[in-house]
Amino acid sequence: MMAVSFTRYGRLYYLDAGEETYAVGEKVLVPTESGAEVAECVWAPEHTSEVDFGELPRCAGRADQAQLDRDVANRRRRAEAKVVAKRLIKRHELPMKVMGVDYLDRGEDFDELIVVYFTAPHRVDFRALVSDLARALRARIDLRQIGSREGAKLVGGLGSCGRELCCATFLKGFEPVSLRMAKLQDLPANPLRISGACGRLMCCLKYEHPLYAEFAQSAPAIGSEVSTPDGEGTVVAHQVPADAVVVRVHGAGVQVCSKADVCPSRAAYDGRSPRPS
């Protein structure tokens, strides 16, 4: 197995290297829906029998000079299309923001197709814009409106953690994230502090949610009376990563106790459990 990237520090794609060996930095061919595309090897082939990645696409070999030249020309064409699209959007005074451009070169016998991805606060009438783009770029134009999360995925950037955005590196899809997840993890309810670069709730809130949900089901609730090795006390906080609870023990101060060391107090147990007749 090997890993490649179409852009420097971009999303990694895993391929079956076959019997060939590739060095880091080599340009290789990656099979895509629109044909083989040039990518850079960022992880040399290794045997990974311990991890099951499923059926991976097969690397189509090293890129020759003609394919490298075509890749450079396609990148230049995408950059040109992005500049032209921004200029014409400004001329038409449309509330659109270009997030990315795809250029599909299908050979001499087919028309060129340029796909422009954009974000907008609402639906936009871009019929006049499409006509101007087609004349300026001499290609078929496809304008696609995407959401804020898809836009952040295309642009990339750094998150509040200081690392590359998850959506731009390894996430394959977006799962629902709710404010309830943040509350369960004792995070501030202020959306500005728990939102990502896209302006939506951070995707990473989903990562630890199962751990916090499982802990909440088995740990005593905050404010409940519990028994500890040092006596009776009241739960004042949870420490989920440490699998522990913070207890204010009567007459002994605040202590951090393992979840396994605490249990409901006898009074609370007697109050909620039916006595045998």
- The pLDDT score that the predictor gives to residue 53 is 59
Judge if pTM exceeds 0.85. Answer: no
Residues 6+ apart with CB under 8 A from 122: 95
Let me know if domain 220-272 sits in CATH 2.30.30.140. yes
Res. 240: pLDDT tops 90: no
Let me know if domain 69-146 sits in CATH 3.30.300. yes
- The pLDDT score that the predictor gives to residue 14 is 84
Domain boundaries, the chain: 2-63, 69-146, 150-206, 220-272
Query: Which band of pLDDT confidence, cut at 50, 70 and 90, is reported for residue 277?
Result: very low
Predicted confidence (pLDDT) per residue in 189-235, tens digit: 787 888 888 888 898 888 889 988 888 888 888 888 888 888 888 88
Q: What is the DSSP string of 118-155?
A: EE-SS----HHHHHHHHHHHTSEEEEEE--HHHHHHHH
- The pLDDT score that the predictor gives to residue 52 is 56
Predicted confidence (pLDDT) per residue in 64-99, tens digit: 899 899 889 888 999 999 999 999 999 999 999 999
